[in-house]
Amino acid sequence: MLQLGYFSALGGACLLACWIAYKAYQNRDATGARPLGVVALATVVWAGGSLGLALSTDPGAELRWLQASYLGMTAAPVAFFLFALEYTGSRTLLTFRTVAPLVAAGGAFLGLVWTNPHHNLYWAGVEYTAVGPADIATTPAIGFWGFVLFTYALLLAGSFLFLRYALTAPDLYRDQTVAILTGVAAPWAANIPHVLQVMTLDLTPVALAVTTGALWTALSRYQLADLGPVALRTVFDSIAAGVCVVDSRGRVVDVNAAGRNMLDAPSDVIGVPVQKIVPNDAFYEHVQEADGERSILSVGTSPPDRSPSATRYYEIRVSPLTLSRGGEPGRLIVVNDVTTQHRQQEQLKNQNERLEAFTSVVSHDLRNPLNVASGNVMLARENGTGDHLERAERALQRMATLIDDLLALAHGGTAVTDPEPVSVAAVAADAWQTVDTQAATLIRRTEHTILSDRSRLHQLIENLVRNAVEHGGKSVTIVIGDRADGFYVADDGPGIPEEERDAVFETGYSTRDSGTGFGLNIAREIADAHGWDIHITESAAGGARFDLTGVVFAEGEAYPPS
């Protein structure tokens, strides 16, 4: 009767596990279905091998059935652990570096089992007792106990993952996890007595079939195939905002994909103090200051190999994490990259400032020369003298200059989207021909080929040359030279006082009555449109020097020293 019951239990375990493997295959795209299918197949092999061992009467065949059943014994705990990782939201750990060592270790133990007659490292002895359904007795050796530690470690790790999730998961998932834990307990109850040789019959494959049934029931009955906990991980990683969870000591507990990209966090960021992965100290201070009620705009420094225009802007919001039983074990940090929005706001601000400047020019600067021209034309008609016409002509020329500068200023704020390789020396030579340079001298000490909009680079250099000639006199010497990160335009004129160097870039600023006040402002707008920085220093000859930095060089361009 005992034998019949044992045979029936093993046969039923095989059938149940086969059915679950089939259902898992049908729903293979569902969360956890694939590793569960492997657990079911391993159960079939284990139970089938145990049944063959029980029915066999030949000692050699019994040993082969026992060795075959180890395929299932080895695969089952590995697949169970992988299922636990996927189900509890630790899918990121399912990598080659995680799975390969487990498979290799299982293969090594199988090798010991199948080659045991040659070394007796797994079983010190194998005896045929002709007692009970499985009349073979083994004496454990070091390999056997190593295998026990290996399988129990995997089962313990998987059970721990489920237990931890059951204590922390939302109420929606706790019933399902408890159902799985109930199934997990079955193999423990059956295997431990057999390993300790308290019970001769090995009911572990039968208990494992019960476990696979419980797992599948949880997946199907509670619809975890559609709403599995891994969905939480998927949603977490798909959020466009950077999300970082830190504990009460400021260590990273978890971070989503967007957060890793924004913070350039390493793959092994878990456990690292959050202060070490934020862009700078100011960013970290803002993390400390922000709260769930308000957000803080923080500026992250640009990478060393990129221009300052590559600076990123972030919006930070920090919320405390609270437990249902009280206490705040950590904080949730949400970071949004608002660089695009910030730059759009800055662009809109600049456009509004230009619009105000245009309004001022149209209402005042253009009106004055227009009145002068009209008045002098009227006087010329009355008395016929040429002086009045000359004054009118000068007024009209000034109006034309103002209109050209206004158009250039309007175009200057548009970002350069399709730069091409341009020789700075060649553009400087062309720009020199379009300015009334009088007796001025141009020295070209540049060999750079840069990525730029040629027309706008021509306009930038033209404005800097015109500024040097207008303020430096007829015989001023202008030098255009190379920098490691761009180029410069310098002269030997009177220079620009340090306290005025920021003001000269403002719209309408001019120290000459005949100046429009737009030349240097246009130069800065063109530099900004390229993503460059322009700043003023004193030249080696005591004049003004305009440095253009953050320039992108054409492929193959050399980087001479400053």
Q: Is the pLDDT of residue 160 over 80?
A: yes
Domain that residue 191 falls in: 2-231
Burial label for 285, CB within 10 Å (0-12, 13-18, 19+), is middle
The verdict on 512 and 424 lying in the same domain is yes
Assign residue 378 the CATH number of its domain: 1.10.287
Q: Tell how strand 477-483 and strand 441-445 pair up.
A: parallel
Q: What are phi and psi of 242, to 5 degrees?
A: -80, 125
Q: 474 and 440 share a domain?
A: yes
Comparison of pLDDT for 210 and 496, the residue scoring more:
496
Longest dimension (CA), the chain: 141
What is the number of structural domains in the chain? 4
Q: Are 59 and 195 in a shared domain?
A: yes
Burial 128-162 (b: 16+ CB within 10 A, else e): eeeeebbbbebeebebbebbeebbeebbeebbebb
Same-domain status, 422 and 503: yes
One domain, residues 428 and 405:
no
CB 530 within 8 A of CB 485: no
CA distance 59 to 3: 18
Region of residue 542 (phi > 0: left; psi between -120 and 50: alpha; otherwise: beta)? left
Does 434 score more than 70 pLDDT? yes
Q: Which is more confident, 186 or 132?
A: 186
Same domain, yes or no: 19 and 103: yes
Whether 263 and 242 have beta carbons less than 8 Å apart is answered as: yes
Supply the CATH number for residue 256's domain: 3.30.450.20
pLDDT digits (tens, 9 = 90+) for 238-288: 778 888 888 878 888 888 888 888 877 887 788 888 888 887 777 788 777
Same domain, 96 and 182: yes
CB 213 within 8 A of CB 186: no
* Digit-coded pLDDT (tens) for 192-213: 666 666 666 667 777 777 777 7
Phi, psi of 371, deg, nearest 5:
-65, -40
pLDDT tens profile 34-79: 888 888 888 888 887 777 877 777 777 888 888 888 888 888 888 8
Which among 412, 427, 462 is the end of a domain? 412
Domain co-membership, 265 together with 218? no
State how far the alpha carbon of 60 is from the alpha carbons of 65, 66, 131, 216, 476, in Å.
Answer: 9, 10, 16, 37, 106
Cα separation, 119 vs 128, in Å, equals 19
Do residues 53 and 134 lie in contact, with contact meaning Cβ atoms separated by under 8 Å? yes
Residues 461, 381 share a domain = no
Q: Kindly state whether residues 68 and 194 are assigned to the same domain.
A: yes
Question: 531 and 432, same structural domain?
Answer: yes
> Which two three-digit tokens encode residue 501?
């160097």
Please say which residue of 231, 260, 288 terminates a domain: 231
User: What average pLDDT score do residues 135-164 get?
Assistant: 84
Residues facing residue 449 across a β-bridge = 423
- Which residues does 495 contact at the CB level (< 8 Å), separation at least 6? 538, 539, 542, 543, 544
Average pLDDT value over all residues in the chain: 76
CATH of the domain at 528: 3.30.565.10
Tens of pLDDT, residue by residue over 356-391, are: 666 655 554 555 566 666 776 777 767 766 666 666
Q: Where is mean pLDDT largest: 168-177, 403-412, 537-546?
A: 537-546
Q: Same domain for 461 and 364? A: no
Q: Of 289 and 80, which is predicted with more confidence?
A: 80
Neighbouring C-beta atoms of residue 348, cutoff 10 Å: 10
Residue 486: the pLDDT is: 94
The reported pTM is: 0.42
pLDDT of residue 383: 72
| Cβ proximity of 516 and 466 under 8 Å | no
Tokens of 464: 């800097």
> Within 290-413, where are the H helices?
339-360, 367-383, 386-412
What CATH number should be reported for the domain holding residue 163? 1.20.1070.10
Higher pLDDT, 230 or 29: 29
- Which of 183, 205, 231 corresponds to the end of one domain? 231
Q: What percent of the chain has pLDDT over 90?
A: 14
Highest mean pLDDT among 121-130, 324-333, 515-524: 121-130
> Token pair of 318, please?
């920090």
Cα(43)–Cα(109) distance, rounded to whole angstroms?
18
Most confident of 280-289, 296-305, 512-521, 545-554: 545-554
